[in-house]
């Protein structure tokens, strides 16, 4: 019999080596393809900074220390410690932070809003990453001949469509296929970088932080503007954290320090060496760093690598979406488990289709990687600011660090994040509006669903009868009781479910055993079997049952009832059990409560109509379900 707990502890795990290779193929694609465009945009002549040796050293030094501080220290060393029982990503961090401030109500709203805003901007990142990565790779064809110029966008669209179609095979399959390719990619990055460094070894002096300090202080406003390009070097850092639940902290850290970070540094320094020798190469230093014979093979490899880069944020988007659903920030959606070994590896068809359409729109609308670069930074750095804000409360209230330590560390991170974020805001009119618009829409959807669900529960309680009082009165002169068990699903366990009232009104009977069932999701990834169930007898063979799941668990109500309830004196035969559900139809009534704007009430009603069926979501047998409709005004 399968385990009730969905936690990985009860599953067969792939080997550490296999997970490490798969993590290389999924997690590091995004940050691993940054050399395609980061140096090019950092030394863009439009910034007004002369392409001189000292400035080249300064620009590379800024990239080096940005990777060191933002990725190696902030994300890999600190934030990845803030796992919610192994699960990462901003929604997991939000759950952790909200639990930390539970006894401080004044902090709850700021923490909640920061987390939702960061999550919303991550979805903008998930749209832009595939677009800019694939476009920048295919643009390498133009270096060989301008004849390919008009085919860059169509080829990019074809590659992206193929990638999103392949998602249904799952992250595990994608990782196994892409892991070896990504390994070759990073080795090629390192080799190309060494080839460039040999031509100008003095470029290694860029490790001196004084060069970065001079670069950022000696060019006035241009130094501030160029930060918006430097940040392109660490896009993908959030994906490291978001994908932690897919592969674990260990494999991700091992690949970063053992291969990815050294290969990236070698390539960035190689491109800098090329610019020091040949400033005209600034048009595309990544491809011009290569010997002529390696151009087209590298274009093919880069295209494959950028497909992998897209995979990093796509899988991260799946994880965050499912977490948002479980934490009641989004309506129920279909999530297909694609691996028996890793619970975090899923595929969400609806999210996949929406991402594909938005990515294709970005490719067609912006047309080039340079245009997309202007839009890219806002989403990335906005999410990073939210991560820093949330991790402060985790450090202070859960890890119990001293306040001075928390302020010093998160203060450093926040200063860096805000510098990059404010620089990226300068590009709002040049394309930065796109991720901000996407993030704003997502933010409003998350808030609307959360508020709408609360209004719905309030409306249910407004006219509902207290359950225990109702049962006492109804059994004074009980109706006819028929054989079998009736389970009434209800979101409010203390009140009488509408389905029970409708059943009494129309059928004039009660089953010999009544169970009032509520499913609740806690702010932890997995709930162990020992904490899964709560059973309370209500008299007259009536019972209140609460089933608890984590935000990464797969809810399976029949399994929990048949396997865990016998220990509490309840045994279920599914062939003699009927599930009574209320299909709520939400009716927005302007002026009834005025808690949300009328358009938000209509949006919530539309999301309610299109939410995945409770029957499917809780894995309830369809032939044992009786649905009774009711209208609720909000």
Selected residue with higher pLDDT from 492 and 450: 450
Q: Which residues contact 573 (CB under 8 A, 6 or more apart)?
A: 485
Return the closest-CA partner of residue 249 out of 382, 82, 34, 409: 82
The values of phi and psi at residue 550, to 5°, are -90, 170
Alpha carbons 332 and 334: distance in angstroms, whole number: 7
Confidence at residue 250, expressed as pLDDT on a 0 to 100 scale = 80
Of 400, 106, 404, 83, the C-alpha closest to 252 is 83
Give tens-digit pLDDT for 403-446: 999 999 999 999 999 999 998 888 888 888 888 888 899 999 99
pLDDT band for 74, please (50, 70, 90 cuts).
very high
11-451 CATH, one of 3.40.50.2300, 3.90.1150.10, 1.20.1740.10, 3.40.50.300: 1.20.1740.10
Q: Report the C-alpha gap between 105 and 174 in whole angstroms.
A: 43
* Element containing residue 59 per DSSP (H, E): helix 53-66
Instruction: Write out the two tokens for 132.
Output: 């800019």
DSSP string for 527-582: --GGGSEEEEEEETTEEEEEEEE-TTS---HHHHHHHHGGGGT----GGGEEEEEE
Residues 27, 52 contacting (CB under 8 angstroms) = no
Q: Which two tokens stand for residue 65?
A: 């220390």
Class of residue 464 by CB neighbours under 10 A (exposed 0-12, middle 13-18, buried 19+): middle
CATH code 1.20.1740.10 region(s) in the chain: 11-451
Quick one: which of 72, 125, 263 has its CA closest to 182?
263
Tell me how far apart the alpha carbons of residues 283 and 285 are, in angstroms, rounded to a whole number. Answer: 6
Q: What angle do CA 592, 593, 594 make, to 5 degrees?
A: 105
Nearest Cα to 38, choosing from 376, 364, 366? 376
- Residue 617 contacts residue 554 (beta carbons within 8 Å): no
What mean pLDDT do residues 350-358 have? Answer: 90
Q: Cα Rg for the chain, rounded, in angstroms? A: 27
Residue 306 to residue 193: CA distance in whole angstroms: 19
Phi-psi region of 508 (alpha: psi -120 to 50; beta: other; left: phi over 0): left
Can you name the residues that pair with 626 across neighbouring β-strands?
580
546 pLDDT more than 50 = yes
Q: How far apart are CA 116 and CA 71, in angstroms?
A: 22
Predicted confidence (pLDDT) per residue in 500-519, tens digit: 888 888 888 889 999 999 99
Long-range contacts, 562-569 (Cβ 8 Å, 24+): 563/1, 563/4, 564/4, 564/529, 564/532, 564/533, 565/533, 565/535, 568/533, 568/535, 569/535
Which range has highest mean pLDDT (81-90, 144-153, 390-399, 428-437)? 390-399
Q: Greater confidence, 550 or 444? A: 444
Query: What per-residue confidence (pLDDT) applies to 428?
Result: 83
Q: Sorting pLDDT into bands at 50, 70 and 90, what band is 70? A: very high
Over the chain, what is the mean pLDDT? 84
Whether 41 contacts 376, CB under 8 Å? no
| Token reading at 513 | 């055993």
Q: Report which of 158, 162, 134 is spatially closest to residue 33, judged by C-alpha positions.
A: 134
Longest dimension (CA), the chain: 96
Asked if 459 and 586 count as a contact pair (C-beta separation under 8 A), the reply is: no
Dump the DSSP string for 462-502. HSPPBHHHHHHHHTTS--EEEEEEEEEE-S-TTB--HHHHH
Q: Which residue has the higher pLDDT, 614 or 591?
A: 614
Identify the sign of the CA torsion 564, 568, 574, 580.
negative
Tens of pLDDT, residues 14-62: 566 666 776 776 778 778 888 988 898 889 888 888 888 999 999 999 9
Q: Is residue 622 scored above 90 in pLDDT?
A: no
User: What span, in angstroms and rounded, lies between the C-alpha atoms of 313 and 380?
Assistant: 11
Taking alpha carbons only, the member of 90, 91, 88 closest to residue 80 is: 88
* Calpha distance 126→517 (Å, rounded): 37
Number of H helices, E strands in the chain: 26, 8
Two tokens, residue 453 = 């669900």
Q: What are phi and psi of 543, to 5 degrees?
A: -140, 145
Tens digits of per-residue pLDDT, 209-260? 999 999 988 888 888 888 888 988 988 787 778 777 667 788 888 889 989 9
Q: Locate tokens 């509520």: which residue?
A: 518
Sequence-ordered strand ranges (E) for 248-371: 336-337, 346-347
């Amino acid at each position: 019999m399968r385990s009730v707990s969905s936690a990985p502890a009860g599953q067969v795990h792939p080997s550490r080596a296999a997970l490490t290779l798969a993590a290389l193929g999924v997690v590091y694609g995004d940050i691993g393809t940054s050399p395609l465009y980061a140096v090019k945009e950092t030394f863009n002549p439009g910034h007004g900074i002369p392409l001189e040796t000292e400035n080249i050293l300064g620009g590379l030094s800024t990239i080096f220390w940005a990777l060191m501080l933002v990725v190696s220290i902030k994300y890999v060393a600190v934030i990845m410690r803030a796992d919610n029982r192994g699960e990462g990503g901003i929604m997991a961090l939000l759950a952790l932070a909200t639990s930390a401030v539970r006894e401080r109500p004044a902090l709850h709203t700021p923490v909640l809003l920061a987390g939702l805003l960061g999550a919303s901007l991550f979805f903008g990142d998930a749209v832009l990453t595939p677009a800019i990565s694939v476009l920048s790779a295919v643009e390498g064809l133009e270096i060989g001949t301008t004849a390919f110029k008009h085919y860059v966008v169509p080829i990019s669209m074809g590659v992206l469509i193929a990638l999103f179609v392949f998602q249904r095979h799952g992250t595990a399959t994608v990782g196994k296929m892409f892991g070896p390719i990504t390994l070759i990619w990073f080795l090629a990055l390192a080799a190309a970088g060494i080839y460039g460094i040999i031509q100008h070894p003095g470029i290694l002096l860029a490790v001196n932080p004084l060069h970065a300090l001079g670069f950022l202080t000696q060019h006035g406003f241009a130094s501030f503007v160029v930060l918006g390009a430097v940040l392109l070097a660490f896009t993908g850092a959030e994906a490291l954290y978001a994908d932690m639940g897919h592969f674990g902290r260990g494999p991700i850290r091992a690949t970063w320090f053992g291969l990815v970070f050294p290969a990236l540094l070698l390539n960035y320094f190689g491109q800098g060496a090329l610019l020091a020798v040949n400033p005209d190469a600034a048009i595309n230093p990544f491809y011009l760093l290569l010997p002529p014979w390696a151009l087209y093979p590298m274009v093919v490899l880069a295209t494959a690598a950028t497909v992998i880069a897209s995979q990093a944020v796509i899988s991260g988007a799946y994880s965050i979406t499912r977490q948002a659903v479980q934490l009641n920030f989004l309506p129920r959606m279909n999530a297909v488990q694609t691996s028996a070994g890793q619970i975090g590896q899923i595929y969400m068809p609806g999210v996949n289709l929406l991402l594909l359409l938005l990515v294709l729109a970005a490719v067609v609308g912006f047309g080039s990687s340079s245009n997309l670069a202007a839009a890219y930074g806002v989403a990335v750095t906005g999410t990073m600011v939210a991560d820093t804000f949330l991790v402060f409360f985790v450090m202070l209230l859960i890890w119990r660090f001293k306040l001075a330590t928390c302020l010093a560390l998160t203060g450093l991170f926040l200063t860096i994040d805000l510098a990059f974020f404010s620089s990226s805001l300068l590009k709002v009119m040049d394309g930065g509006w796109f991720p901000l618009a996407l993030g704003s829409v997502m933010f409003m959807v998350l808030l609307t669903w959360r508020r709408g669900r609360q209004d719905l529960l309030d409306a249910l309680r407004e006219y509902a009868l207290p359950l225990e009082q109702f049962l006492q009165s109804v059994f004074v002169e009980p109706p006819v009781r028929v054989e079998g068990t009736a389970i009434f699903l209800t979101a409010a366990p203390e009140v009488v479910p509408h389905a029970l009232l409708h059943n009494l009104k129309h059928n004039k009977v009660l089953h010999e055993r009544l169970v009032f069932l509520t499913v609740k999701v806690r702010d932890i990834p997995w709930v162990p079997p020992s904490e899964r169930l709560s059973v309370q007898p209500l008299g007259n063979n009536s019972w209140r049952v609460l089933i608890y799941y984590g935000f990464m668990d797969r809810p399976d109500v029949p399994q929990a009832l048949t396997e865990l309830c016998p220990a509490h004196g309840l045994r279920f035969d599914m062939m003699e059990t009927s599930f009574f559900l209320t299909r709520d139809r939400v009716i927005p009534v302007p002026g009834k409560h005025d808690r949300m704007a009328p358009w938000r009430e209509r949006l919530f009603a539309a999301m309610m109509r299109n939410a995945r069926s409770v029957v499917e979501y809780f894995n309830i047998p369809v032939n044992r379900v009786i649905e009774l409709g009711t209208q609720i005004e909000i």
